[in-house]
Homo-oligomer: A and B are copies of this chain.
């Protein structure tokens, strides 16, 4: 990596929702930006925590027993194994960090293909 990575410039290169783009890597993890809108599926990741930072807009991370609401500049880490469902009532932009190869849906069969931009 030769220069700074500008997250807004990376986000401006695509429109698709729920399709994370890897902008760099860090200690075996993908650092990703994603645009989200609507309800994702319920899922969990048995082997990794799930890092969310809201860059723009807001999301709810629904857990089975409560909902965590996040706005810009707010972080939540879903512990490994905990079922969750991200929901965005309007388009939101997120920074995600997950080990390289983690399926975003928790299931390789339905996961979005990892794309590097």
Contacts and interface: CB of A to CB of B under 8 A. Distances in A.
Copies of the chain in the assembly: 2
A64 to B, nearest CB: 14
Contacts of A74: 4-7
At the interface, is chain A mostly helix, strand, loop or mixed? Answer: strand
23 contacts: A1-B76, A1-B77, A1-B79, A3-B68, A3-B76, A4-B68, A4-B70, A4-B75, A5-B74, A5-B75, A6-B73, A7-B73, A8-B73, A24-B75, A24-B77, A26-B49, A26-B77, A27-B29, A27-B49, A31-B51, A31-B77, A55-B73, A97-B97
Interface of A: 1-8, 23-27, 29, 31, 48-49, 51, 53, 55, 68-71, 73-77, 79, 95, 97, 99
